């Protein structure tokens, strides 16, 4: 039995659990802790999908750091030739985007160029549609470029008309170039079209870096090799190549319930349906030409395929159906739990926003379930980012959300996750109230955890009784058999009484869903008790199944060798409840399965029991030929 002091503790926990949990209104750009367990949809979920959009992407992000000649790599090898050199070269077609991010660790100002060679075999026009550039520390430069590009409107400007086999070049760094200790970030969209009919044309693009004294990058755009990266046997520096598409049109269609009031997506990770593409290259990390192949970082313990992570242009239609107790669905964007960084996004075409987030924090993005989200992950960002959808009040996601889920599902895993989340909160009355609610819930889960053993024991005993020979003629042997069955039934009774003692000790809850669990446990316990009483009555009847008085029982006939539905035949006597089960007191005369299908085995008269948790009915069956 549960002691009085335990009942008092649970009652105290319940009283504190009823205290409302506050939620504070969000402000734009506010960093807020993630107030629920970080749980992400699997990549194979049917509720998230993407379709590639746009043209190719030429990427130059390796060597990420441009070093001075004579500098050392991590493995001690000497670096030469990372400036006054091509950083990447490849052929693109028609509309394409190009982005680059590099850090200047040389002793010179650096100048970055794009060299365009017309390899289409006919005159072309080369347009710049959009661009954004900055040089500063890498975080500031990437933030500025991303925000400017997302706010830019397409405005094609003709840069050059290039004859067949002709070329054109231009500096992408600004007039004062990239100073020592600065990073440059550049993102632009271009288009190469045939002069005569405007069809997409092929161009060979070379990204070149030189000292600021160089005025023409052409000599470096046609070299047999390109700059070697800073990669070593156990350190990667290989993100340069070509991606097939710059954009993703996405759709997120989810339903939030009290049992699942929050969920998350990993942005720029291995990818949901249609999201990811392989980065392909024509150069190895040593700068030597290769047949086009996927970029992989391979060591004895790592085999990592490079995908489309940064500057993918996501346009996602979000549609969240809210079936929770809360009126609002919030979108929160930021850390996946381990990384600080910045998010860049637009909602329904509004101006782009750039906000910082710390480790394990997010920023509020939207407080509606249906909207268009555009986002780009900027270079230097640690991946993946976390995009979360959570139910809440109009102001914020409440601190109680994980507790509500645990109370709804009564799953130990959810209770454990909720407890971890609440324990991470600063000490407050809210935290105390939530911990007390979890304590009350834990008592319910403990009782619930004992219930299956009692139910399974009852079901196992029913099978044992079905298989027992209740027609033994020898009185002593019959009594030994029945005594063994009574002992087994007592074990079932003991298990049920143990569970019942836990249920009785549970105080009533003003959390309706928790009270629902308590009521359900009480009903399950009562049902086991009813079954035990019915089985006990059958064992008592088995002491003398053909006693006087059987003549008053309803009688039915069945032919030997035939199978009949006794449940249907005796429905007026025993009822039609689906939970009714059946037992024969002499299976040699007539056997019956738990659903009431009776088979006559030999001529004779047999008593049949029909029972459920509400009681037992007996009928007589006469088997004849």
- Any long-range contacts for 577-584 (C-beta under 8 Å, 24+ apart)? 577/612, 577/614, 579/612, 579/613, 580/610, 580/611, 580/612, 581/462, 581/610, 581/611, 581/612, 582/608, 582/609, 582/610, 582/611, 583/465, 583/466, 583/470, 583/538, 583/608, 583/609, 583/611, 584/470, 584/608
The span from the CA of 436 to the CA of 12, in Å, is 8
Instruction: Give the mean pLDDT of 57-68.
Output: 98
The span from the CA of 303 to the CA of 620, in Å, is 74
Identify the CA nearest to 243 among candidates 89, 43, 97: 97
| pLDDT tens digits, 172-214 | 999 889 999 999 999 999 999 999 999 999 999 999 999 999 9
Share of the chain above pLDDT 70, in %: 96
Instruction: Give the mean pLDDT of 215-226.
Output: 97
The structural domains of the chain, with segments of one domain joined by +, span: 32-52+250-271+307-398, 55-244, 437-542, 550-624
| pLDDT tens digits, 68-92 | 999 999 999 999 999 999 999 999 9
Give the pLDDT band (50/70/90) at residue 548: low
Residue, of 314 and 381, whose pLDDT is higher: 314
| pLDDT tens digits, 580-595 | 999 999 999 999 998 8
Q: Is 38 in contact with 334 (CB distance < 8 Å)?
A: no
The span from the CA of 339 to the CA of 334, in Å, is 9
Q: In the 8-state DSSP scheme, what is residue 284?
A: -
The pLDDT of residue 314: 98
| pLDDT tens digits, 479-537 | 999 999 999 999 999 999 999 999 999 999 989 999 999 999 999 999 999 999 999 99
The span from the CA of 29 to the CA of 33, in Å, is 13
Give the pLDDT band (50/70/90) at residue 3: very low
| pLDDT tens digits, 115-124 | 999 999 999 9
Instruction: Give the mean pLDDT of 414-440.
Output: 96
* Architecture (CATH level 2) of domain 550-624: Sandwich (2.60)
Identify the CA nearest to 370 among candidates 318, 331, 329: 318
Q: Is the pLDDT of residue 430 over 70?
A: yes
CATH topology of domain 437-542: Topoisomerase I; Chain A, domain 4 (1.10.132)
CATH topology of domain 32-52+250-271+307-398: Jelly Rolls (2.60.120)
Query: Which two structure tokens, joined as six digits, stand for 169?
Result: 């070049």
The pLDDT of residue 549: 65
Instruction: Give the mean pLDDT of 460-483.
Output: 93
How long a stretch of residues is the chain? 625
The pLDDT of residue 552: 85
Q: Is the pLDDT of residue 11 over 50?
A: no
The pLDDT of residue 6: 41
Query: Which two structure tokens, joined as six digits, stand for 4?
Result: 């009085």
The span from the CA of 278 to the CA of 451, in Å, is 51
The span from the CA of 440 to the CA of 432, in Å, is 12
Give me the DSSP letters along 5-46: HHHHHHHHHHHHHTSPPP-PPP-TT--EE--S---B--TT-T
The pLDDT of residue 299: 87
Residue, of 496 and 550, whose pLDDT is higher: 496
Q: Is 184 in contact with 178 (CB distance < 8 Å)?
A: yes
Q: Is the pLDDT of residue 113 over 80?
A: yes
Query: Which two structure tokens, joined as six digits, stand for 457?
Result: 């024991």
The span from the CA of 164 to the CA of 114, in Å, is 18
**179 Cβ contact partners less than 8 Å away, ≥ 6 residues apart:** 104, 109, 135
Give the pLDDT band (50/70/90) at residue 16: very low
- CA 308-310-315 angle, to 5 degrees, is 85
Place of tokens 């002593």: 476
The span from the CA of 106 to the CA of 381, in Å, is 23
The span from the CA of 237 to the CA of 101, in Å, is 12
């Amino acid at each position: 039995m549960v002691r009085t002091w335990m009942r008092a503790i649970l009652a105290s926990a319940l009283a504190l659990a009823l205290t409302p949990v506050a939620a504070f209104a969000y402000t734009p750009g506010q960093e807020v802790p993630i107030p629920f367990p970080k749980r992400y949809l699997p990549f194979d979920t049917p509720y998230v999908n993407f379709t590639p959009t746009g043209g190719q992407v030429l990427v130059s992000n390796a060597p990420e750091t441009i070093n001075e000649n004579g500098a050392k790599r991590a493995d001690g090898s000497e670096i030469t030739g990372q400036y006054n050199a091509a950083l990447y070269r490849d052929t693109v077609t028609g509309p394409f985007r190009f982005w680059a991010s590099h850090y200047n660790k040389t002793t010179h100002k650096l100048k970055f160029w794009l060299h365009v060679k017309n390899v289409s075999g006919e005159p072309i026009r080369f347009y710049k549609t959009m661009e954004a550039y900055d040089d500063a520390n890498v975080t500031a430069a990437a933030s500025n470029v991303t925000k400017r590009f997302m706010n830019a409107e397409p405005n094609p400007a003709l840069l050059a008309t290039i004859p067949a086999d002709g070329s054109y070049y231009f500096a992408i760094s600004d007039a004062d170039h990239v100073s020592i200790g600065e990073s440059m970030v550049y993102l632009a969209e271009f288009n190469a079209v045939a002069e005569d009919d405007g069809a997409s044309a092929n161009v060979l693009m070379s990204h070149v870096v030189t000292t600021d004294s160089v005025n023409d990058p052409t000599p470096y755009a046609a070299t047999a090799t390109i700059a070697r990266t800073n990669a070593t046997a156990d350190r990667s520096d290989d993100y340069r190549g070509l991606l097939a598409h710059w954009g993703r049109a996405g759709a997120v269609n989810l339903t939030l319930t009290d049992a699942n009031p929050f969920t998350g997506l990993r942005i720029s990770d291995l990818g949901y349906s249609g999201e990811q593409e392989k980065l392909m290259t024509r150069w190895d990390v040593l700068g030597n030409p290769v047949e086009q192949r996927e970029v992989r970082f391979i060591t004895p313990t790592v085999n990592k395929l490079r995908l489309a992570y940064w500057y993918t242009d996501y346009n996602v239609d979000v549609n969240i159906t809210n079936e929770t107790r809360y009126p609002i669905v919030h979108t929160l964007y930021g850390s996946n739990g381990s990384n600080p960084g910045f998010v860049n996004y637009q909602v329904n075409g509004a101006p782009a926003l750039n906000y910082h987030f710390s480790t394990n924090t997010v920023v509020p993005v939207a407080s509606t379930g249906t909207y268009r989200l555009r986002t780009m992950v900027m270079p230097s960002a640690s991946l993946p980012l976390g995009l979360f959808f959570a139910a809440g009040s109009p102001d914020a996601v409440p601190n109680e959300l994980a507790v509500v889920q645990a109370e709804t599902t009564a799953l130990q895993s959810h209770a454990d996750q909720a407890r971890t989340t609440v324990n991470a909160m600063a000490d407050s009355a809210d935290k105390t109230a939530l911990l007390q609610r979890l304590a009350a819930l834990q008592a319910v889960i403990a009782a619930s955890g004992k219930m299956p053993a009692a139910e399974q024991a009852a079901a196992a005993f029913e099978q044992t009784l079905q298989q027992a020979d209740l027609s033994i003629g020898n009185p002593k042997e019959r009594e030994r058999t029945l005594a063994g069955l009574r002992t087994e039934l007592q074990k079932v009774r003991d298990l049920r009484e143990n569970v019942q003692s836990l249920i009785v000790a549970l105080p009533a809850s003003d959390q309706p869903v928790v009270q629902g669990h308590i009521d359900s446990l009480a009903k399950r316990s009562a049902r086991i008790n009813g079954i035990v009483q019915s089985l006990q009555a059958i064992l008592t009847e088995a002491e003398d199944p053909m006693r006087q008085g059987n003549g008053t029982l309803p009688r039915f006939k069945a032919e030997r060798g035939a199978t009949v539905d006794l449940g249907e035949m005796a429905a007026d006597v025993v009822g039609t409840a689906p939970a009714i089960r059946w037992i024969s007191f002499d299976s040699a005369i007539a056997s019956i399965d738990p659903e009431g299908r009776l088979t006559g085995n030999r001529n004779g008269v047999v008593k049949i029991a029909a029972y459920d948790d509400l009681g037992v009915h007996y009928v007589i069956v006469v088997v004849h030929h």
